[in-house]
Each structure stands twice: as structure tokens, then as C-alpha cells.
Amino acid sequence: MDFLKINGGYGEGGGQIIRSAIALSCITKHAIHLENIRKNRKVSGLRPQHLTAIKILQKVANAKVIGAEIGSTELKFIPGNIESLELIEDVRTAGSISLILQVLIPVVAISQKKINLTIKGGTDVRWSPSTDYTQYVLKDAYSRMGIEFSLKLIKRGYYPKGGGEINLQVYPSQIKSISFSKRKTNSVKLICTFSKLPIEKIKKSVEEIKEKLTKENFIVETEIKNQEAIDPGASLLIYSTDENSIVGVDALFDKKTQRFDLDFDRFVKNPVGVDENLADMLVVPASLGKKKTTFQVREITKHLETNLFVTSKITGCKYGIGRLSNGFEVIIEGISNSCIK
């Protein structure tokens, strides 16, 4: 069999290249051979959270997989035909559900299939988008690109036990090429959810963040929700949307500092079309659109660089990056999804 070889150590060399490569393998029907998986990381090879995503996509795409084991630095993924499915999955740790959904949603939608997935794991954990980010930021962006899904939170799940639960439904979709340029709105939504923490501390932290945003001339609408979880924890999302932009930033509550670990400037000092995390997630669907997708972003992260590399290698799409006075413009010329068999 003819495998497309992907260097898993390219760029940031982490889980992003694994997820994107397998998602595009499913969509394009290209068999891939991932090498040097997480080669430069302290603990190299596949970790449990990667295996969960691989095994779910294996079911969805009726794929043959070689090397799907913890610690494996090589993986061969041979996709079959994608089917509409109903699945129940359990990560069994606080591993991020959002990172799994990030690859599963475009695979199913772009392939003109449906999925009804109930999955347990971590809903709000470090190094991954929160569930609220997926619900309010990614969902809006994907909807504008023609990808439709619904997300229902059943239970929150924080580190270390996880135990959160989400129901996802994805629908057949047609990709649209779009543009995100500059943020014009000063209206902001702040959503905070918490469990087993004193509400006084949560309210105080939220009020401090609201005051900072107000001083920066934002009009802030806040919502605080107590949602039961196994472990104590709290999650916060700040986001704004208008016809030209979708910008969000999320954070978890740090129990040591008793504050939200929020990179405030990432939101306030971002006048462009999308935030850095969302930019990563636009690449795969943009590569399969019929026209050019353009978006402005404040910086080109290693994640984005890696995603552009692996996506162009598998789909053959072309992309360009131009410098702006306040960031960068990324242009992705889609190949249409006619490559789907």
C-alpha cells in the first residue's frame, strides 16, 4: 500500500499534528504513516488522550490502524468508508473531550455523515479548549463555514478525575470559504462555570475581570453558573463576535493563586479577526473549501504553522502568510472536497 509519510516531529511536534493528520486521512481517504510521534517531548510517543481520538476515528472511518499503543512513535492509519454512527465513549481520565471533538466534527460533517456521540472525560482541563469555547466560539466559526453541530453539556469534568459528559450531534455539511478580518464590536460575553468552590471567590474574580474589560471600553455581559462536577474547579470564557470576527479566550481557576489563569492581553490587545486557538481549527475545513479562506490573527503560533504544514501536505491546498501592522493574514486556497470518495 502507498502511504503518505508525515513527520510527527515537525513544528511543535505534539498532539496537533497527530489529530490533524488522522482527520484529513479520514476525509481524503489517504493512508498515512506518521513517524517520530512527539519525538522531542519529555515523554515521546502516543499518550492515552491521543489513542482515544484515534480509536474513535477508527470506528467512524472503518479504518485499519497499526501502532495504536501508548508510547508508540509510529502509526499507520488506513481509512475505509465513513459511516453515520451512534457511539458511547469514555476517555476514563480527565483527558480533553474538546480536543477529540475538534477533529471528529469536521471529519463527519465534511464527509456528509451524521454522528450521535456521548462521551465522558475532561470538559475543562489544561492545554485544551474548554467546553464553553467549543460551544460558543468554535461552533459559531464552524457554522459560518457551513459545518453544523449541536453540543449538550451533561456534566462538567475537571482535573484530576474528569467524569464530565457531553452529547455531540454532527450533521452533513457543505464547506463555505469565508473571511475574518478585523474586530469592530466592543460587546463582550463573559461566562463562568464552577463546582465545589466558594461562590464569593468566584464572583470576586469575575468582577475584577469585568472591571478590567470595562476600563478597556468593552461592554460586558456576565453569566455565572454553578454546575456540579466530581472535582472542584472553575472555567471562564470571554468572547466577542461580529460579522467580521470571532475572538475568544478561556481560562481555568488556579486554586493556589485563587485567580483565573487568564492571559488578559490575548483578548484585549487583539483587534483582528480570530484568536490564535481558533486559527488552528479553521485550517482543516478551509483547505477543503471551493474558494479562498482568509483570516487575520495576531501571531503565527507553532500550532498554526504545524497545522498548515500537515494540511497542505495531505490535501495539496496552497496557503500564504502576509505580515500586517498588527498581526498576520493567512490565506488558504481550498481544493474543494471533491477528493472525498
Tell me which residues are annotated as active site: 303
Q: Which of 23, 31, 36 is nearest to 3 (CA)?
A: 31
**287 contacts: CB under 8 Å, gap ≥ 6:** 24, 311, 312, 315, 317, 332, 334, 335
Q: Which of 267, 219, 260 is nearest to 246 (CA)?
A: 267
Q: Which residues are registered as beta bridge partners of 323?
A: 328
Residue carrying the nine cell digits 470559504: 177
**Secondary structure (DSSP) of 72-119:** -S-EEEE------EEEEEE-SSS-BHHHHHHHHHHHHHHTT--EEEEE
Q: Which of 113, 227, 259, 125 is nearest to 172 (CA)?
A: 113
Half-sphere exposure of 237 (CA within 13 A, CB side): 23
Q: Which of 1, 17, 19, 7 is nearest to 78 (CA)?
A: 1
For residue 41, what is the DSSP state? S
Half-sphere exposure of 70 (CA within 13 A, CB side): 5
**93 contacts: CB under 8 Å, gap ≥ 6:** 48, 49, 121, 122, 162
Give dist(CA 340, CA 26) in Å, integer: 9
Q: Which of 279, 281, 275 is nearest to 294 (CA)?
A: 279
**265 contacts: CB under 8 Å, gap ≥ 6:** none
Give dist(CA 300, CA 279) in Å, integer: 9
